[in-house]
Structure 1
Amino acid sequence: MSLPPLPSVPTAGLRVLLVEDEHDIAANVWDFLERRGYVVDHCADGAGGLARAMQGGFDVVVLDLGLPRLDGLDLCRRLREAGHGVPVLMLTARDTLDDKLRGFAEGADDYLVKPFALAELEARLRAVARRGRSSGPLACGPLVYDPDVLAAQRDGRQIPLTRLQGALLEILLQEAPRIVPHARLIERAWGAAGADMAALQTQVYELRALVDRPFAQPMIQSVRGVGYRVVAPE
């Protein structure tokens, strides 16, 4: 991976945790990001990466999947189960659709397949960090979402969400009860890098399981061939 020329104005430093066991890749990514003003910490195995991520203080975690001591998918799942909503960008050589969907299901915010261009890594990193910023609590009827804690509440029940689930619910509540087209949902959740309908459907399925399934009336509605919307129960 060759380093593209530096921009004339360095990027303001986001705090990045890089969890990668391949020395050459880690060194290139670290050097590339630090030259652009990022603050980078590095762990070379999954167990160490999980412990460091649990301490908090990062804007983004850049996470390899094939790690020693603890697989990246397990790391991401444990991080989410512990209530940490830090955005996670996964790096992996696993490029099948099933692999990508599993990564999103475990709480990843984006997925970059090796080999990758460092400029694309930075673009995706900035996109997931931007989506992690709070817009304040949003509500529709009994459903409330607070981006600051990555949690929804419905009828008094607390519902922890992943960052990706939160991004989707956030735009649905911002537009409620209007229909949000599929393309706009994909852009909000995955940024300019995009995703496909299968990934969107997987995330909406998981979101419905949390927000609708335990309750008598569903609030997330699918408009066939168009998109999704949130409506308050009658």
Structure 2
Amino acid sequence: MHNIVIVEDNSDLRASLIDILLSESANVFGFDSSEAFLTGCSLQTVDVVLLDLNLPGEDGIALAKRLKLLAPHIGIVMLSARSSADEVGLGYNSGADIYLVKPSSTPELKGAVDALLRRTVSSKGNEEKIMLDLRSMTISGPDGDVTVSNAEGALLKEFILAPENRLAKNEIAQILCISDDAKSGTLEVRIVRLRKKLALVGANGKIINAVRGWGYQLAATIVLA
């Protein structure tokens, strides 16, 4: 069965949305905040997230951006009373696959969720993802599993969470505990070593690219397990 998550702080609306989507033969889970959602379930099991924008704590825009970094396979439906062209554009630019303006009809809502379920299930069947498991300190992909050090795992996590997956050299050096005296050569060696490990599990291309005069950018798609 599909797994659908609703992140909505209005309890009555959340209950109504759950009832509507349960009729779609799916598992439906409701949370009242971004924080409750992120700590309450594994992102890798989620197919579609329906989220409000005006949430307590981290808002829906920030949550959508985070999901696109941590679990890009998840389809995102934004459901909001914000209806101006600028606000809708911001929603799409932040990661929404579909933006619906409240109040949304049941057929419109079901149609949006069904469309994303078809897309995400199809991509799950074809996608060769690289997974980072920080509990076992391993990366896994279509070509197998490789163990990473604690520092390498921490570095990959920070790459995943960083805006545009970019980190400055001084940030990388701090994560890897590299001193200023040894920074340049040692840092490059460590990046090369990490590239090789990612290549061993099936990552293609340059994987981690140098950003001239600044740092490095993670180019491979890596998902936190």
Runs of 4+ in 1 over 4 A off after TM superposition: none
Give the conservation status (yes or no) of the 8 Å contact 2:50–2:78.
Answer: yes
Deviation at 1:110, TM superposition (A): 0.9
Q: Does 2:59 correspond to 1:71? A: yes
Query: Partner of 2:183 in structure 1?
Result: none
Is 1:156 equivalent to 2:206 in the alignment? yes
CA distance in 2, matches of 1:89, 1:37: 18
State how 1:163-202 maps to structure 2 within 5 Å.
none
Shift of 1:14: 2.2
TM-score normalised by structure 2 residue count: 0.55
Deviation at 1:115, TM superposition (A): 0.4
Q: Which of 1 and 2 has greater Rg?
A: 2
- The CA deviation at 1:61 is 0.7
Query: Are 1:48 and 2:36 matched, yes or no?
Result: yes
Q: Give the direction of change, closer, same or farther, for the CA distance of 1:104–1:52 in structure 2 (3 Å limit).
A: farther
Residues 87 and 29 of structure 1: is their aligned pair in 2 closer, same or farther, counting only changes over 3 Å?
Answer: same
State TM-score, norm by structure 1.
0.53
Residue of structure 2 equivalent to 1:5: none
Q: Is the 8 A contact 1:86 1:132 kept in 2?
A: yes
CA contact (8 A) 2:9 2:55 kept: yes
Which of 82, 101, 106 is the aligned partner of 2:89? 101
8 Å CA contact retained: 1:85, 1:149: no
User: How many residues are treated as equivalent by the alignment?
Assistant: 142
Aligned CA distance change for structure 1 residues 15 and 159 (closer, same or farther; 3 Å): same
The 3-state SS of whatever aligns with 1:132 is helix
Q: Secondary structure at the match of 2:5?
A: strand
Given the superposition, is the C-alpha separation of residues 116 and 80 from structure 1 closer, same or farther in structure 2, using an over 3 Å criterion?
same
Query: Superposition RMSD on alpha carbons, in Å?
Result: 3.0
Alignment of 1:1-234 (within 5 A): 13-52=1-40, 54-134=42-122, 147-149=127-129, 155-157=205-207, 158-160=219-221
C-alpha separation between the residues in 2 aligned to 1:135 and 1:19? 23
**Structure 1 letter corresponding to 2:47:** D
In structure 1, runs of 5+ residues without a counterpart are: 1-12, 138-145, 162-234
Q: Distance in 2 between matches of 1:75 and 1:37?
A: 26
SS at match of 2:83: coil
- Alpha-carbon distance in 2 for matches of 1:133, 1:42: 21
> How much does 1:96 deviate?
1.4
Cα pair 1:63 1:91 within 8 Å, conserved: yes
Identity of aligned residues (%): 31
Deviations 1:147-187 (A, max 9, x none): 4439xx874243549xxxxxxxxxxxxxxxxxxxxxxxxxx
Q: Which has the higher helix share?
A: 2
Q: After superposition, what is the alpha-carbon deviation per residue over 1:63-104, rounded to whole angstroms, capped at 9, x for unaligned? A: 111111210111111222224421111111111121122112
Give, in whole Å, the separation in 2 of the partners of 1:66 and 1:136: 30
